[in-house]
Amino acid sequence: MANPSVLATGVMNDYNVSSNQNGAISQVDSTGAVHAGVVTEIDKDPFKTHDPRVLSFKQSSTNKALVADYDLSNSLTKYGVFDPTVAGTWTLDPNKYFSNDDTTSNNWQTSNPYSIVTNGNDMYIMGYDQNTIVKIDMTDYTYTSTFYTYTPLAGKKGHGVDMDKVTIDGTDYIAALFINDDGSYANYGDSQLVILDFSGKTINTYNLNTNANSLNIDAAGTHAYITSYGGPQNAGGNNGSPYTSELQIVDFGKNSVIQTIGPKEAPVKTGDYIDVALVGSDAYVLTANYNDDFSQYTYRLVKAPQSSLYTNGTFDGSSDYTATVESGATWLLAYDGAVLWFVAGKLVYTIDTAVDMSSTALTLRANANDHSSDSQGLGISTAYGQLNTASVVIPYSAAAGVSRSAVSGGHTKFAKIMLPREILKKFGKA
């Protein structure tokens, strides 16, 4: 009997509950079975903040989960390497917990992790704060080196937001996506996609739209799909005004950006481009934005042939669905080779990829509520109300076909964390 796909989430209290520093890692599988609070501490040390996050990776053929307890107040992060299970029993090797604290014996030299790539026995972690990629030896999970340091544009500060592993002409590379801002989250320079070989040498750099947020590479390793806000996040999205959010496609064979799909490209008439999932010959494109009073999010899911996107820069032959949900900052499309997961703020769905995009293609699997009062709730009594991360930690075991990332086992698909409503609301009033 095949094992279901398992999505792990970070659960926290609402952003305005600043006094409550609890959090939890929970999971839901593709049948809808929920296990709340599978991790609440690292090496008997409860989460210091309400911002626990989980990133999946593979060590050889074994599914692993990196749990990070990131403290925004001091940028310190404690890490634990866990073995997740479908049954919801996660185990931590007693020697596999680490931090970026100089007072510890095993300092990983990175905080605020956003993405993982693995290659052989090496793990590469991209940190948002340091704009670096560090290399970790997975034999005993020790820091090896700072593999790459991104040089931001003049007058800007660089941040790593996503990366993937890609094979081009038979050679493996890291594709790393960085943004540039001035520290105010208001003024952005171009984003850049940097192609690195595994010696750390830069092979190519592509200039992209401002404030990029996700990177997705097709099964053949030919095209990279990059979404971007196009500037600061705004209520109503940047497809309303000033019309700057974009979906761009890079062709590695041509060494160029071949399509820039901008605002008002039907059926995407509102919202920001947030994420893409590539399923067979189709692409699922997600847009979303806060409404004017920041209390709700409106999203749109578009299923379109990849060929329409990269050949014509259009959504020809597409189907789409739009809905409005309660505000939540966590959004994700993640395909594991058989199951397509969709995280919409506080809600977790699976999408039936055999049919056109509509409400009937979505099945609600879980939410951010307290599990003790809601069987679909991922929260625990001390932490519920918001999701702050999501990652597929166990792919469906009997997939007829597998995604490119599942083949390599080399990429974490990590949820896109949009600005919480309290921060965005203050920004909108500035």
What DSSP letter does each residue of 7-32 carry, written as one string? EEEEEE--TT-TT---EEEEEEETT-
Predicted structure pTM score: 0.94
CATH H-level superfamily of 6-429: YVTN repeat-like/Quinoprotein amine dehydrogenase (2.130.10.10)
CA atoms within 13 A on the CB side of 187: 8
List of residues 6+ apart from 24 with CB closer than 8 A:
10, 11, 36, 37, 38, 39, 40, 47, 52, 379, 380, 382, 383
DSSP state of 311: I
**Terminal-to-terminal C-alpha distance of the chain:** 56
Which residues does residue 216 pair with via DSSP β-bridges, in sequence order? 225
Q: Tens place of pLDDT for every residue, the chain, 430 residues?
A: 688 999 999 999 887 666 566 899 999 999 999 999 999 998 888 887 777 889 999 888 899 999 998 877 777 888 999 999 999 999 997 767 777 776 666 889 988 889 999 999 999 999 988 899 999 999 999 999 999 999 999 999 999 999 999 999 999 999 999 999 998 777 899 999 999 999 999 999 999 999 999 999 998 889 999 999 998 888 778 866 678 999 999 999 999 999 999 877 889 887 899 999 999 999 999 999 888 878 889 999 999 999 999 999 999 999 999 999 998 889 999 999 999 999 999 999 999 999 999 999 999 999 999 999 999 999 999 999 999 899 999 999 854 444 444 433 344 566 777 776 666 656 553 3
DSSP state of 240: T
Task: List alpha helices for 215-321, DSSP H.
Answer: 306-307
Distance CA 192, CA 309 (A): 21
Q: In terms of C-beta distances under 8 Å and separation of at least 24 residues, what long-range contacts does 122-125 make, across chains too? A: 122/198, 123/57, 123/59, 124/163, 124/174, 125/66
| Helix (H) / strand (E) containing 405 | helix 404-408
Domain boundaries, given as residue ranges, for the chain: 6-429
